[in-house]
Amino acid sequence: MMECEDYREKFVHEELTEKEQSEFKEHLKNCAECRAFVKNYNQMREFIKLRTEFRASNILKNKIVSRVKFKNATKRIFRVALPTAALIVLGTFYTMSSFSTKDVMYEKVALSGIKMLNSNPATEVNSQSNLDYLVKIKYASDQF
């Protein structure tokens, strides 16, 4: 009869003869440590087999690729597109507001003149400008 260590070594290297295999099976029934070893070894082997022999299906592949692409795209959005979009939005807002304030400005400027056009001009010196001396020249100068 072999010792536990011998059985385990031959088992791992698949060197157990048929007779030894039957003996090892009988030994496992009574040896809890060897059962635990065999169980762990088989689990590890399954895992290794999975790592080395697993081929993902096309569906899974596509899923993974699209997930990766999505992640990259999201990253890109946060890194580039989002700031760009923000800039565009801000730019558009600024331009629009600039246009609108310009329009308001022209309208304001125009309204002052239209008011004057619709009213009867003053009959005496009536100016609100630092250039009002031009009007005063006219009134100071004797015309004939």
**Quick one: 17 or 130, whose CB is closer to another protein?**
130
Nearest distance, CB of residue 78 and another protein, angstroms: 38
CB nearer to another protein: pick between 42 and 100:
100
Classify residue 24 as exposed, middle or buried by CB count within 10 Å of its CB (0-12, 13-18, 19+). Answer: buried
- Phi/psi region, residue 102 (left: phi>0; alpha: psi -120 to 50; beta: rest), is alpha
Q: Specify the length of the chain in residues.
A: 144
Of the pair 69, 136, the CB lying nearest another protein is at 136
CB of residue 93 vs another protein: minimum separation in angstroms? 18
In angstroms, the CA 116 to CA 79 distance is 56
Residues in contact with another protein by CB under 8 A are 101-102, 105-110, 112-114, 116-117, 120-144
